[in-house]
Chains A and B, each alone.
Chain A
Amino acid sequence: MHIVYPVVVSALLFSIGVYGVLARRNAILVLMSVELMLNAVNLNLVAFDVWLRDRLHSGQVLTLFVIVIAAAEVGLGLAIVLAVFRTRRTIDVDRLRALSENAAGTDDESGDGDGGGDREGDRNGGGSRGTVASGGGEAAT
């Protein structure tokens, strides 16, 4: 067996997984794409294990471990997705923007804190935190 065949398949599978992670909106689809990438890695591990004739079978054993971890990961990931779905009513990845900078107009003013607007900036910061929290609260109810 030429190693290059499984390795190339694995590389292409990985790239497809990458595309899926980057392009899909639905969080479950993203999880699926992650699984694709993990499987690409598994294939690599097995192929190299065979090629190198490892007496400890580290490649295959690690593949087993990866599969187990993938199972755990999917379980946890789905739990998180469900939690997000409960609070946000959506699992579209590009609509979950809690990580973003607050786009409110007052943010620019908190910049000149050295001019005395520090307290204002604090208030804005607090305010933005407040909206996030309260938004979450609304969704939860």
Chain B
Amino acid sequence: MTSQAQPGLWPPSGPEIVFLLLGVVALGSALLVVTTRRLVHAALWLVVCFGALAGCYLVLTAEFVAWVQVLIYVGAIVVLLLFGIMLTRAPIGRSADLDSGNRWAAAVVGVATAGVLVSVVVSGFHTAYTPLEPGQGAAGTLGSSVFRTWVLPFEVLSVLLLSALIGAIALSRTDIGGRE
């Protein structure tokens, strides 16, 4: 909530500076993910990006989310992606054709998206301010929220995860069901 004594947008406070630096790292590494010519580098830059984002979460006092981010994204998903790169026998070195011919249209659309979104959020939230209070996103508070209020979606989600697992197995194994 906006408080009465709301500091101006500039100069940024300490946490904000940290956040912005982490944000720049995340954005830069994300840009490298989508532009690098090496597949494996892309995956590694993704690690950097996710890590920086985890830092951002920490600054925003969402500690638990930050750790989950590190554990699942950096720990699991990127590994999965690397396995994918490996299994599809992608070239490890530079490859010239990682971008499709659609690149310039994509760039235009991307820039336009950025323009629209940024202008919208800036115009919408340039006055929004909240002081950070540590402990808001601690494991305890979050855990009690998940297992009280959100327990049903949580359970549903676990079923979803299970079925996704089974689906992945079914899809990746050639000797199960499928084509005649």
Contact = CB atoms under 8 A, between A and B. Distances in A.
A121 interface: no
Interface of B is mostly: helix
Given A23-B107, A61-B142, A3 B39 contact: no
B77 A86 contact: no
Contact of B149 (A1, A49, A56, A86): A56
Interface residues of A, number: 75
B110 A22 contact: yes
Contact of A79 (B26, B129, B171): B171
B126 A4 contact: yes
Given A74-B81, A76-B168, A18 B109 contact: yes
Given A4-B9, A61-B150, A94-B101, A15 B84 contact: no
A72 interface: yes
Contacts, number: 264
A11 B121 contact: yes
A32 B44 CA distance: 11
Closest 9 CB pairs of A and B: A19-B110, A22-B106, A20-B34, A15-B114, A72-B164, A23-B106, A11-B117, A79-B171, A3-B128
9 contacts: A1-B13, A12-B118, A22-B102, A26-B98, A56-B145, A60-B64, A63-B65, A70-B73, A81-B88
B62 to A, nearest CB: 5
Given A32-B81, A36-B33, A25 B20 contact: no
Given A5-B12, A29-B34, A29-B42, 10 more contacts: A2-B12, A4-B128, A8-B121, A17-B30, A18-B110, A51-B130, A57-B145, A65-B154, A70-B77, A74-B80
Interface of B: 1, 9, 12-13, 15-16, 19-20, 23, 26-27, 30-31, 33-34, 39, 42-43, 46, 49-50, 53, 56-57, 59-62, 64-65, 68-69, 72-73, 76-77, 80-81, 83-85, 87-88, 90, 97-103, 105-107, 109-111, 113-114, 117-118, 121-122, 125-126, 128-132, 136-137, 141-142, 145-146, 149-150, 153-154, 157, 160-161, 164-165, 167-169, 171-172, 174, 179
Nearest to A82: B172
A126 to B, nearest CB: 18
B106 A79 contact: no
